[in-house]
Amino acid sequence: MACAFESHAYVIFGATGSLSNSKLLPALFQLHCCGYLATNVKILGCGRTPYGRADWRTSVRTLLTGAATEDNHLEDFLRRLDYLSGDLHDPAFYQTLTAWVSLSECACNLIFYLAVSPELYAPVTNGLAQAGLLNERNGWRRMVIEKPFGHDLSSANDLQQRLGRVLEERQIYRIDHYVGKQSVQNLLVLRFANMILEPLWNRHYIDHVQITHAETAGVGNRTGYYDKMGATRDMIQSHLLQVLALLAMEPPVSLDAEAVRDEKVKVLRSIRPLTLSQIHESAVRAQYAGYLAEKGVAAASRTETYAALKLHVDNWRWRDVPFYLRTGKHLKEQRWMVAIRFREPPMQLFRDADATAVHPNWLLIGIQPEDIVRLEISARVHGLETRTRPIAMDASIVTLGERKADAYEELLLEVIQGNRSLFLRYDEVQAAWAIIDPLMQAWADDRTSPPVYATGTWGPVEADRLFGQSGRKWRQTLTCNADRDWEC
């Protein structure tokens, strides 16, 4: 496949770290194999590991062996790689980087990827600026920044101010790999390419919405990061609120990046603030049993490994429709899904005909591991009695044998193309922190320990209180048991 993209250099800070090894290098390799990288594109790794070019190429060869469809793909990819070792706080390192750029035929256009800890975002950016490497006299410069963008609204504002001194907003690509998942992007298509859904997509027909991100694993080797952030900051502030915004947004005037992001920001700004008096009934936190025994976790840590929220979008379309968000570790199943429950008919016409209760209708969107859209409706059971059961209409997004691209492949390609629609604008980040900050402050002031839930369950029973007396409950799976009164 011929490549129509501009030549450039991808400069990865933290090139030997886990993010680079598990996501960035495999994604760049797939872009190489598919012909999306111009012939003279270079990938420069930067970090403290005392590697030379040959060392890094050997390490990457080991990493990618088995991923290549043909041996020549891997060898061609390795020839793109170079490496600079040094202290990212040392101005001399950036002078060395400047010298490398001046000798590279493709480095008039530069992408800097900060795959480093958040406290290095500003120092690395300042080092690049002081060395003149962010100047766009002879080509473009783009900066990719991983989450978290701050740990609260104040720190996010501070980081934005520091970056804003040396970068323009159009140069900053705040990456959220969750938004890069094709199943998440499909939410836009479901919303705006199907007229069958639009008349129903409002408070008159939708009872409530659930967004679930459940993991079976614990914190693993991320305790240093996780014990400071917790489930709410790690998942809800970024990933789950982005999904909520995509579900609830109004039709944009176009698919232009700014038009889409304008509508998402409107949704986030419309979310009803959580007041101190509402937090008990609108938010739940908990820890899995054994979290305090994890290596690196503070002995009296109150960090939540499970969080659930009830939010309301106070606008014309969604007024009084609750959005339930939950995420947790060491839960029963690995499941990322959206469950939309529709309102019941205004009259139960079959109630007096020896029929079972009419089952509620659901639209289910599996994000991972299932990439599926399922609509559940009620139908008559064959027989002499008038009885109903739920039936499902399924549509798998990925066909059998089809390769599913990793989110990072598309996101890295979007940076090359200069398309910012899948990246977060700062007012999105700011609005999300404004939602979460009051909750985090209230939990920080609460000196009681969070409840503990058993591993391998769906989390704490306290999360059920978010539904009140409404008759609602958490949707756990993408399938239902019709013989057990729709236990899902």
Boundary residue ending a domain (146, 168, 202)? 146
Which residues neighbour 5 within 8 Å (Cβ) at sequence distance 6 or greater?
A: 36, 37, 38, 416, 417
Side chain identity at residue 329, one-letter code: K
Res. 75 pLDDT band, cuts 50 70 90 = very high
Most confident of 270-284, 334-348, 376-390: 270-284
> In DSSP terms, which residues pair with 391 in a beta bridge?
377
Which residues neighbour 410 within 8 Å (Cβ) at sequence distance 6 or greater?
A: 180, 182, 422
Domain count, the chain: 2
Q: Please tell me the predicted confidence (pLDDT) of residue 427.
A: 96
Distances 336 to 181, 323, 326, 461, 471 between C-alpha atoms, Å: 11, 15, 10, 20, 23
- Counting every residue, how long is the chain? 488
CA 113 to chain centre: 18
Spatial CA neighbour of 174 closest among 136, 125, 137: 125
Q: Give the residue-averaged pLDDT of 117-127.
A: 95
Contact between 124 and 144 under an 8 Å Cβ cutoff? The reply is no
Distances 452 to 232, 279, 373 between C-alpha atoms, Å: 16, 19, 33
Task: Round to whole Å and give the CA distance between 205 and 198.
Answer: 11
Q: Please tell me the predicted confidence (pLDDT) of residue 486.
A: 42
Please report whether residue 419 resides in a domain: no
Please report whether residue 475 resides in a domain: yes
Please report whether residue 303 resides in a domain: yes
Which residues neighbour 433 within 8 Å (Cβ) at sequence distance 6 or greater?
A: 150, 152, 153, 156, 237
Q: Give the residue-averaged pLDDT of 309-328.
A: 97
One domain for residues 125 and 254: no
**Pick the residue with more confidence: 353 or 282?**
282
Q: Give the residue-averaged pLDDT of 149-165.
A: 96
Instruction: Output 118-126 pairs: Cβ under 8 A, ≥24 positions apart.
Output: 118/146, 118/148, 118/149, 118/150, 118/151, 120/13, 120/88, 121/145, 121/159, 121/163, 122/159, 122/162, 122/163, 123/88, 123/89, 124/13, 124/88, 125/162, 125/163, 125/166, 125/167, 126/162, 126/166
The pLDDT mean for the chain works out to 89
Share of residues in the chain with pLDDT > 70 (%): 90
One domain for residues 309 and 400: yes
One domain for residues 241 and 194: yes
Please report whether residue 20 resides in a domain: yes
Q: List, for residues 167-198, the tens digit of each pLDDT value.
A: 999 999 999 888 888 888 888 888 999 898 99
Q: Give the residue-averaged pLDDT of 212-232.
A: 94
One domain for residues 64 and 207: no
pLDDT over 60 (residue 50): yes
Q: Look at the block and give the residue holding tokens 């960090």.
A: 303
> In DSSP terms, which residues pair with 393 in a beta bridge?
375
Beta carbons within 10 angstroms of residue 315's beta carbon: 15
DSSP 442: H
Give the structural domain span for 35: 9-146
One domain for residues 140 and 208: no
Q: Is 239 a catalytic residue?
A: yes
Q: Please tell me the predicted confidence (pLDDT) of residue 351.
A: 58
**Pick the residue with more confidence: 354 or 160?**
160
One domain for residues 192 and 305: yes
User: 148: cis peptide before it, omega within 30°?
Assistant: yes
Please report whether residue 362 resides in a domain: yes
One domain for residues 198 and 135: no
Task: Round to whole Å and give the CA distance between 6 and 417.
Answer: 8
Contact between 468 and 281 under an 8 Å Cβ cutoff? The reply is yes
Task: Round to whole Å and give the CA distance between 29 and 409.
Answer: 9
Share of residues in the chain with pLDDT > 90 (%): 70
Please report whether residue 155 resides in a domain: no
Task: Round to whole Å and give the CA distance between 275 and 305.
Answer: 22
Residue 306 phi/psi, 5-degree rounding, is -140, 135
Contact between 112 and 141 under an 8 Å Cβ cutoff? The reply is yes
CATH number, domain of 370, equals 3.30.360.10
Contact between 429 and 176 under an 8 Å Cβ cutoff? The reply is no
pLDDT over 70 (residue 71): no
pLDDT over 60 (residue 481): no
Task: Round to whole Å and give the CA distance between 255 and 298.
Answer: 46
pLDDT over 90 (residue 344): no
Q: List, for residues 410-452, the tens digit of each pLDDT value.
A: 999 999 999 998 899 999 999 999 999 999 999 999 999 999 9
Q: Please tell me the predicted confidence (pLDDT) of residue 69.
A: 54
Please report whether residue 172 resides in a domain: no
pLDDT over 50 (residue 409): yes
Please indicate, yes or no, whether the overall pTM of this predicted structure exceeds 0.85.
Answer: yes
Please report whether residue 153 resides in a domain: no
Element housing 408 (H / E):
helix 407-417
One domain for residues 130 and 184: no
CATH number, domain of 121, equals 3.40.50.720
One domain for residues 246 and 107: no
Q: Look at the block and give the residue holding tokens 């409530």.
A: 208
Per annotation, catalytic residue among 239, 280, 330, 359: 239
**Pick the residue with more confidence: 419 or 388?**
419
One domain for residues 123 and 196: no
> In DSSP terms, which residues pair with 83 in a beta bridge?
45
One domain for residues 325 and 474: yes
Boundary residue ending a domain (146, 170, 201)? 146
Phi-psi map region of 437: left, alpha, beta (phi>0 left; psi -120 to 50 alpha): alpha
Spatial CA neighbour of 111 closest among 73, 83, 139, 74: 139
Q: Would you state the structure tokens that stand for residue 260, as one six-digit string?
A: 């889409």
One domain for residues 259 and 385: yes
Distances 161 to 113, 116, 155, 171, 261 between C-alpha atoms, Å: 19, 19, 10, 14, 21
